[in-house]
Amino acid sequence: MLLQCIVFWSFYVLKVNKIMNKSRSNKDSLKKPRGKFKKPGIDDFHKADPMPKDVFLRVNKILKNANLFRYIGNKPADSETALLERDFTKYLGVKYALALNSCSSAMFLSLISCGVRPGDKVLVPAFTFTAVPSAIIHAGAVPVLVECNERYCIDVDDLRKKISSETKALLLSHMRGHTADLERIVKLCKEKNIILIEDAAHSLGVLWNGQPVGTFGKVGCYSFQSYKIINGGEGGLLVTDDEEIIVKAIFLSGAYEKMYEKHFVKSKFFELYKNTLPAFNLRLHNISAAIIRPQIKKIEDKVAIYNKNYKFLINRLATSKNISIPKIDPRERMAPDSIQFKLCNLSLKEAKEFMNKVRDKGVSLYVFGVHEDNARFFWNWKYFQNSFPLEKTRNLLELTCDMRLPVSFRKVHIDYIADVILSVLNDIKKNEKN
């Protein structure tokens, strides 16, 4: 049996080393590609970011000692998940962090930990992913949708109108990393005594006046799903500076008995809340933490590439009178791993023709209004009743284009994408005149 184990691990380590060597040669796709330019295809837009070499080392170590469960060990430093939480508090400049199995779980626990109860109304932007209102439903509360503006952010004037005596919280989704006027929103929430929870799933690396987006509210929630700036497959993070909220969230996440002692959090509230809260078992395990943690140091490099590509692309697209690009707020440092822009002077029929022709040329772009069953359309959310027409948001989204900008793309790729978009648009408008 021992001989079999030695043979197995020898084979495994050789395989891991082979993968690591390939990863080293790629240098995490951050260097300029060599050789002849290859046109991107649809699949290239949906490839997840490659793993840094440190991931293989950490994962292999955990597999060898079999310590997959976050609470194995005698102290926080024995847990890769606890170390991930510690490292993120340093990166974001917050006091506390809790790693979870998804951003949806982070939002759900945030709502409950902040005192949202069944029947409470929670405001949420109408442009977001279905997981956001779903978290509100999961908590037993009632989503109230708020209009969005031409920057794809929550409309603060409509937000003020939607506040009522039954409003408990604002779950502010920074959809696709677009940041609303946080000064106005924070001031309004304080004025109306509304709890601000940030869904920063798309905003890791985004700064507002130099402060990380996701750290302005009572709680912030981040995502490590594969199409986010950190590729963890799945995973989420809850951050806060509130000692009582983090204690409640730790218990709710599944810290039973005295497992709370294996967090880098010391608080008198643990004894107060012990055995008083349900355990939903939404914990992150050490393998996921080992995949996520080494990628923290890559965030700033990726943000620089995203901004360079995005600015180059919008400068190209801005030459067309048939494209409207959201204005960049000077207070915001973006981390644009995707682009959204609105088609102008086109019908829905022409928009569909545009989308299909662009995709035929290998550019993976969707037009929201003609992409059926899209989980980002509020009119597709049939699981709760929306009492508002939200015409402003509907009109904005119907002709809005949405496209990923993978970190592996370089100037030649962005140039090709711009050429395709502009040429297809020009052809459609020419045919319209004929």
Q: Are 378 and 235 contained in the same domain?
A: no
Q: Are 109 and 245 contained in the same domain?
A: yes
Angle at 366 between CA 363 and CA 367, to 5 degrees: 135
Phi and psi torsions of 46, nearest 5°:
-115, 10
Q: Are 383 and 356 contained in the same domain?
A: yes
Task: State the pLDDT at residue 34.
Answer: 52
For residue 173, the domain's CATH number is: 3.40.640.10
Q: Are 184 and 304 contained in the same domain?
A: no
Task: State the pLDDT at residue 434.
Answer: 67
Domain count, the chain: 2
The answer to the question of residue 354 being in a domain is: yes
* Residue 309 and residue 405 in contact, taking contact as beta carbons nearer than 8 Å: yes
For residue 365, the domain's CATH number is: 3.90.1150.10
Burial class of residue 300 in the structure, from the number of CB atoms within 10 Å of its CB (0-12 exposed, 13-18 middle, 19+ buried): exposed
Q: Tokens 């920063």 — which residue? A: 200
Question: Which of 297, 332, 356 lies at the terminal end of a domain, its last residue?
Answer: 297
Q: Are 157 and 175 contained in the same domain?
A: yes
Q: Which domain holds residue 133?
A: 60-297
Task: State the pLDDT at residue 23.
Answer: 42
Question: Which of 277, 297, 317 lies at the terminal end of a domain, its last residue?
Answer: 297
pLDDT tens digit at each of 434 positions of the chain: 433 443 334 444 444 444 444 444 444 444 444 556 788 888 999 988 889 999 999 999 999 999 999 999 999 999 999 999 999 999 999 999 999 999 999 999 999 999 999 999 999 999 999 999 999 999 999 999 999 999 999 999 999 999 999 999 999 999 999 999 999 999 999 999 999 999 999 999 999 999 999 999 999 999 999 999 999 999 999 999 999 999 999 999 999 999 999 999 999 999 999 999 999 999 999 999 999 999 999 999 999 999 999 999 999 999 999 999 999 999 999 999 999 999 999 999 999 999 999 999 999 999 998 888 899 999 999 999 998 999 999 999 999 999 999 999 999 999 999 999 999 999 998 887 76
Q: Are 192 and 240 contained in the same domain?
A: yes
Q: Are 286 and 311 contained in the same domain?
A: no
Alpha carbon distances (Å) from 261 to 82, 271, 355: 11, 11, 53
Q: Are 234 and 348 contained in the same domain?
A: no
Q: Which two tokens stand for residue 293?
A: 């943690």
Q: How many CB atoms lie within 10 A of CB 162?
A: 17
